[in-house]
Structure 1
């Protein structure tokens, strides 16, 4: 779904942003891989630095309603004002937003679809560390997966994180023996290649009670296209 009357401003174009959807309450942008959403301890450019270019006439800049890892590309929702942001935050917190990711993984699952039900916890007590691990005493974490294509030592997955834990998809895939390609933290091959092969493909949000859910889709990023092309499509059974 595309906004009817918007085009990226120069600041957006310079960092690779594109606007996928706009209405009175929210924006959905296609966040490029490599751009952090929020400032971190190491500093450097972040999406926050560019939010003023997305005001579109409103007095305040929009704010992210959820997070994507720095190296994950794709759909990111922004609330355009405080009330909108609170409503969006509640939808994400209540698990009412349907999120689908594309990932290229090493090897791949034997079954064409399934579930990964593994609790997750932080690796360290250091509050600055976001690295995670599977842990029976951790927070319940559930991911559904479906194989979209298979290649040589490679699989193209659609991942649906039913819960929204930090690094959930990356840790779950690694724990199953098929880490996401380019994952320098959790063991994916090709760490010196084009980057993490994980993309937030679609979001579906029931933002307006009397309307159908808003569904937004982000095209596959350039750094994943070669791998996706190498995978033969697996038809639905």
Structure 2
């Protein structure tokens, strides 16, 4: 969706692509199934029919999808761990806070991660969010002292000159909403220097 930057929303770009590719007259239907935080890269799914949208929404609501992210995190977290927090969101500041105990305004949030590689002071993590809260991975990793590289909002030492943060929606698996055939969508990390140090290790 649009924001204060004035950049065209991704959905509008996809609509234009569909209109040209399939020679669609008139308005193009496009349903947004899920969103990524603006500085996050990776797989995004759209629905081209209202039926597909409602079925995909049901899959996400029932947690019948499997999402895998890659993160370049500052520091050296454990080899493997499950994190559980209660998250609150300050809408005015667009920032989440993680609590280690139940909070009256908090939503229970859980993820697992594995450390795949370490280079200097940065670790490549494979992260699977088990819940889908805004900024969940970013704030939960920051809460253990390992913020996502470049994510100054959550404690990274510095923004990165190439922009964005080093969190990438790597793989999304689910059953096709009509045929029920298993699907796995995967996107390689951006082809930029900092990622390229780690991508050969995947």
User: TM-score normalized by structure 2?
Assistant: 0.85
Rounded to whole Å, the distance in 2 between the matches of 1:60 and 1:49 is 10
Equivalence map 1:1-237=2 (5 Å)? 38-55=1-18, 56-57=21-22, 60-109=28-77, 111-122=78-89, 124=90, 127-135=91-99, 136-137=102-103, 138-194=106-162, 195-208=164-177, 211-223=180-192, 224-228=194-198
Shift of residue 208, structure 1, vs aligned partner: 4.5
Deviation at 1:89, TM superposition (A): 1.0
Contact 1:102 1:201 in 2 (8 A): yes
Q: Which runs of 5+ in 2 are unaligned?
A: none
Q: 1:42 to 1:151 in 2, by over 3 A?
A: closer
Q: What's the CA shift for 1:187? A: 1.1
SS at match of 1:76: coil
**Secondary structure, in 3 states, of the residue corresponding to 1:221?**
coil
Distance across 2 between alignment mates of 1:79 and 1:210 = 14
The two structures have a TM-score, normalised by structure 1, of 0.73
SS at match of 1:216: strand
User: What do the CA deviations read for 1:142-174 (whole angstroms, capped 9, x no partner)?
Assistant: 011011111111100000000000000000000
- How many residue pairs get aligned? The number is 191
Q: RCO (CA 8 Å, sep 6+): is it higher in 1 or 2?
A: 2
1:46 CA drift (Å): 1.9
Q: After superposition, what is the alpha-carbon deviation per residue over 1:11-49, rounded to whole angstroms, capped at 9, x for unaligned?
A: xxxxxxxxxxxxxxxxxxxxxxxxxxx112453322133
For the 8 Å contact 1:54–1:61, the answer to whether it is kept is no
Distance in 1 of aligned mates of 2:44 and 2:188: 13
In the alignment, structure 1 segments of 5+ residues that lack a partner are 1-37
